[in-house]
Amino acid sequence: MASSSDYEAGKNLYFGKGCNGCHGTKAEGMTTYPALANRAKGFLAYKLKRFRSEISDKQIQEMMIPFAIGLSDKEIDQLCIFLNEYVDEQTERYDIEYTTEGDGGS
């Protein structure tokens, strides 16, 4: 099981490297850019390592090469943890910190 710090590191990489510019702020994808959220970690890592080795199966994938080329194995791992375990914080936020105070209003 991945630690939450890997998730956070992956998230920082995703936004820091501009992945969100094409794949979306929720990794939901858009038009020709595939969705990445909650996809299999092994598949994501396989693709990123291929792009890093400058291998593309079709022309549109060449777009990915400059973004993958600088990534270390650890960074790929962290990115894939973040994407695989992705949760939409916008919808999570409301119920996480909910606590009842006092006697519950008797």
Binding site for ligand HEC (CB under 6 A): 17-19, 21-23, 32-34, 36, 44, 47-48, 60-61, 63-64, 67, 79
Taking the complex as a whole, how short is the minimal distance between the CB of residue 63 and ligand HEC, in angstroms? 4
Number of C-beta neighbours around residue 65 at 10 A: 15
Say how far apart CA 69 and CA 60 lie, in whole Å: 16
Q: Which is nearer to ligand HEC, 52 or 98 (CB)?
A: 52
Q: Which is nearer to ligand HEC, 32 or 106 (CB)?
A: 32
Taking the complex as a whole, how short is the minimal distance between the CB of residue 78 and ligand HEC, in angstroms? 10
Say how far apart CA 36 and CA 88 lie, in whole Å: 13
Taking the complex as a whole, how short is the minimal distance between the CB of residue 74 and ligand HEC, in angstroms? 13
What are φ and ψ of residue 17, in 5° steps? -95, 0
Which is it for the CA torsion 95, 23, 25, 46, positive or negative? Answer: positive
